[in-house]
Chain A
Amino acid sequence: MARKKLETLTEQMYYVLLALSGPPRHGYGIMQAVSERTQGRVNVGAGTLYALLGRFETKGLIRQAAAHDVRKYYVLTDAGRRALVKEYQRLKRQVEDGQDILEGGTAP
């Protein structure tokens, strides 16, 4: 199955980790942060988010920072930050690889 080992991230996974790169957030806060960051282009469903948070926590990419009113707050771990940066750089290289061709008119 694709992404079984979280080697590459889906768009939703990327933005969830991005939302946790700052202060701790709870589940709905993550959903709101992703929607605001992408201006509504990317929306993570509650069920999808719950599953992703479980996977990330199992893989050590995030950890629980606190719990208020039965809501858990999460934050990136060092491993999570490295995974996020790695994905960011991968996406950046993809954009750079296509930039010259698609915007500069250079033949592949």
Chain B
Amino acid sequence: MKTCWRPFSYLIIHRQAAQDRLNAMAEQGWELEKIRFECLAKFRRTSRKHLRYFVDFTDPKPKDPCEESEYLRLCADAGWEWVEQMSYWNIYASAPDRDPAPIQTDPEVEYQRYRKKVGRRSWIGVAIVAAILAVYALLMLPAFGRPYSPTAGELLRGLLSSSLSLPLILAALPLFLLWGLVYLIVLGHRLRLWRRDVEDGLPLSAPSPRQAGVLGGVKLVCLLLIGGYFLLLPLDSLLNGVVNWGFPVGLLIGAAILVFSDRYKGLPQYRRRARAAAVFSVILLACMLFRGPARALFPGRLPPGPIVAGFEDDDPGKRTDGLLGSHANWWEKILPTEEEGPWGLVSVQAWTWTSDAAADWAFALEDLQGMEETAPGLWRQDWGEDQVDLLLRRGRTWVRVYWHGDEALDRQALAEALERYLER
């Protein structure tokens, strides 16, 4: 049977626009099969005549599942077959050889249904997100400007070189914030129009198809960006270890509750989401477990240590590769083999970037105060006889070492070791 996928992205309050779209597809001989990710609809060819759809507001997590079952049964008796549930919508199709009256025939009742099923829950959701952001800002902002706390630029540099997925969200954040503001304005405006319609006894007004389409398109872009983040997350976890163990474990627990809880028995869409969450969690856990072997196979843009001949990798540290840059840091040591033999401890930080502009920007954040450029691209600061801070830059890559060790160790040899490292 011929099928097709079409974008199907609308604001929840634009249910009439979505319904009109489904009816238009039905007139062309397409019936709705399913909706995925709240933005993609699959249609299949049908020879049915007079197929119609109705999009009705619903509560995706009803307090009383029996009440929801009664409602669905009454709709079925009236000639409306349930087809799909998407967010706060139930989508019904007219039963074959039936010409049922619309499910909602009273504007005031429909408005009250929206308020009861959707309105309060969505405002609570907005309030929760706003509260979380406010608390996060209150906790994070005082950290800036304190001694030894990273600057915003240093945090950004770290983010861009340590993760594949987080920079995507960071870049999309202004769009998300703008979208949230637009959504609130559109929602408030539409509700104000509906209240007027109810007072005047008129059907609830709907936006123009163009307006509904544009706003749905922006919503689709936001969903794609979020989807891109979750697609990158397993790879990011495999390469850079960005995921905390609690995240996949928490997802698995939540999925188990959805699958085994009686409350969600009659809600197949929740079971579907639970299975998807469980699969995603297992993939994440596998990526986290295999991070070590993956890194051994793919060391990344920066070669591993040791830098200094005769030194051992005391602490493998961390190696990360982002879309724009890479960062590695580790410790090396040499311990005396005789009672008075040479010893040293080296802390290494290495950076490399994919473009000159990114490299120049990131390098400008290095603290070179007190350092002297003793040769082109080589900065040095001595702290007494047995400590030295060395930084060597070649093109888009630089390495910085802080060495504390036996005064007999050759600083020139250390600089040459850095040179050899950057040549690798």
Contact = CB atoms under 8 A, between A and B. Distances in A.
Interface of A: 1-3, 10, 12, 27-28, 31, 35, 43-52, 70-72
B109 A46 contact: no
A51 to B, nearest CB: 5
B73 interface: yes
B81 to A, nearest CB: 12
Contact of A12 (B71, B75, B105, B113): B105
A48 B73 contact: no
Given A47-B110, A70-B73, 15 more contacts: A1-B108, A2-B108, A27-B77, A28-B74, A35-B101, A45-B101, A45-B106, A46-B77, A46-B78, A46-B80, A46-B100, A51-B106, A51-B109, A52-B109, A71-B77
Contact of B78 (A3, A45, A70): A45
Contacts, number: 69
A71 B76 CA distance: 12
B109 to A, nearest CB: 5
Interface SS of B by simple majority? helix
A61 to B, nearest CB: 16
A12 B106 contact: yes
A1 B105 contact: no
A44 B105 contact: yes
A70 B108 CA distance: 28
B73 A45 contact: no
Interface residues of B, number: 24
Contacts of B75: 46-47
B338 interface: no
A12 to B, nearest CB: 6
A91 B243 CA distance: 68
Given A45-B103, A70-B70, A51 B112 contact: yes
B70 A50 contact: yes
B199 interface: yes
Q: Quick one: which of B75, B78, B102, B198 has the most chain A CB within 10 A?
A: B78
Contacts of A45: 78, 101-106
Contacts of B78: 27-28, 31, 45-46
Given A1-B198, A2-B199, A43-B101, A50 B106 contact: no
B113 A51 contact: yes
B56 interface: yes
Given A28-B74, A71-B73, A47 B199 contact: no
Contact of B106 (A10, A27, A31): A10
Contacts of A52: 106, 109
Contacts of B77: 27-28, 46, 71
A33 B136 CA distance: 58
Given A27-B74, A49-B74, A50-B71, A43 B105 contact: yes
A2 B199 CA distance: 7
B320 to A, nearest CB: 53
Q: Quick one: which of B70, B103, B109 has the most chain A CB within 10 A?
A: B109
Contacts of A70: 69-70, 73
Interface in B66-96: 69-71, 73-75, 77-78, 80
A43 B78 CA distance: 11
Contact of B101 (A1, A27, A44): A44
A2 B77 CA distance: 30
Contact of A48 (B69, B70, B109, B198): B109
A53 B258 CA distance: 32
B161 to A, nearest CB: 54
